[in-house]
Amino acid sequence: MTGFALGAEQEEWCGQLRALAADRLRPLADKGEPGRVNRPLLAALGELGLLERVFTSGALELCLLRESLAYGCTEAETALALQGLGAHPVLRSGTPQQRARWLPQVRAGRAVAAFALSEPGAGSDAAALALEAVRDGGGQAGGGGWRLSGEKCWISNAPEADFYTVFARTGEGPAAKGVTAFLVPADRPGLSGEPLDMLSPHPIGRLSFDGVPVGPQDLLGEPGRGFRVAMDTLNLFRPSVGAFAVGMARAALDATLAHTAARRAFGGVLGDLQAVGHRVAEMATRTEAARLLVYAAAGAYDAGSADVPRRSAMAKLLATETAQYVVDHAVQLHGAVALQRGHLLEHLYREVRAPRIYEGASEVQRTIIAKELYR
């Protein structure tokens, strides 16, 4: 890839993914129940080797994968991304035993992973999390451990996941310095959860921890360094959240081009009206700008650049805000038909709102960018 275009092989792969999403994955997604984990869809992602690509690809390839799937099937894209988000800490910080137990199952789509960071009082300010890990002299097998008590909220794939990457306060230091990451299987005693009825169609829930036992064998990384585990994951996935948004924007843009080129009005087609043509031109320009910024951020991550946090934040910010703009204007140019249940734009309109909040709201991204600029 140059700074301005993908290579021919990359473009061909993206086209194949878009077709695969529409032809193979869309029918499975349509059979799923909103707000529930779609295990047949996950199994298909595993069989097609796409989940494997989440763990073996660089950031740019992950972005191309997410963008292309989002274009044809947002449910497949989200299912794939949530597997990566929940299991990436295991890949990067887990023990050999943890990786051997869980990663083959995740890659095959047989085990559902979840990333449990947010809490009722600690969403955007992740360093303020309050889930408490109290030392327990007995703990699990292998020596002294902890008991987890508190609540997690707005956790994707909860409460149906098979294991959770959980971030808890162990108190080695103040704020982020006292956070530890744990791998917590869903069947651990004291762990319960309930689904939340959200605007987005993918599963989101609340988790309750009532003295859930965890031991040294459940650690992901070292005690007190869990925030680093979280940020390592988010720095990789933030540009690809932007790629998800770009995929939705491109789908909305293409639908708008087709509609305005064919819809007759005022003695011609909508696209002949200057107001419409200018609006579509603005949608296309913003989408392309967001797409290039996402690719640049992913390239910086793959190159090991020092400015990854700033670039990742910029990519997520611009891409998610742009997708909201493009989808909203696509609905406007389609008119009432786009508000019907089952219409592509009605679906995208519900999907596009959440990415401006999760994995760091737009305001948090601006804060990160400013801090990095002034550093």
Convert the pLDDT of each residue in 173-228 to its tens digit: 777 788 999 999 999 999 999 999 998 888 999 999 999 999 999 999 999 999 99
DSSP letter, residue 22:
I
**Res. 138 pLDDT band, cuts 50 70 90:** very low
Instruction: List strand residue ranges (DSSP E) for the chain, in order.
Output: 113-116, 132-136, 145-156, 163-169, 179-185, 191-195, 204-214, 219-220, 264-265, 268-269
What would the two tokens of residue 163 be?
């294991």
What burial class does residue 96 get, using C-beta atoms within 10 Å of its C-beta: 0-12 exposed, 13-18 middle, 19+ buried?
exposed
Q: Is 363 a residue of the active site?
A: no
CATH, domain range 8-108: 1.10.540.10
Q: What is the mean pLDDT of residues 327-345?
A: 96
Quickly count: other Cβ atoms within 10 Å of residue 55's Cβ.
17
Average pLDDT, the chain: 93
What confidence score (pLDDT) does residue 139 get? 43
Asked if 141 contacts 218 with a C-beta cutoff of 8 angstroms, the reply is no
Percent of the chain with pLDDT over 90: 84
Catalytic residue among 33, 194, 359, 372: 359
Whether the Cβ atoms of residue 174 and residue 223 lie closer than 8 Å to each other: no
pLDDT at position 301 over 60: yes
The third-level CATH classification (topology) of the domain covering 113-224 is Butyryl-CoA Dehydrogenase, subunit A; domain 2 (2.40.110)
State the average pLDDT over residues 101-113.
97
Q: What is the DSSP letter of 33?
A: P
Please classify residue 224 by burial: count the beta carbons closer than 10 Å to its beta carbon, then call 0-12 exposed, 13-18 middle and 19+ buried: middle
The structure tokens 């009605």 sit at 346
- pLDDT greater than 80 at residue 284: yes
Of the candidates 200, 346, 199, 319, the one whose C-alpha atom is nearest the C-alpha of residue 249 is: 319
Q: What are the domain boundaries of the chain?
A: 8-108, 113-224, 228-374
**Which CATH superfamily includes the segment(s) 228-374?**
Butyryl-CoA Dehydrogenase, subunit A, domain 3 (1.20.140.10)
Banded pLDDT at 17 (limits 50, 70, 90): very high
What value does the mean pLDDT take over residues 243-247? 97
Instruction: Tell me the mean pLDDT in the region 274-290.
Output: 97
- pLDDT number for residue 238: 87
Residues in Cβ contact with 246 at an 8 Å cutoff, skipping those fewer than 6 apart: 67, 70, 287, 290, 291, 294, 319, 322, 323
DSSP state of 178: G
Token pair of 83 as six digits: 């597997």
- Vertex 148, ends 147 and 152: CA angle to 5°? 175
Tokens of 228: 């680093």
Lowest mean pLDDT, pick from 83-97, 104-118, 164-178, 246-260: 164-178
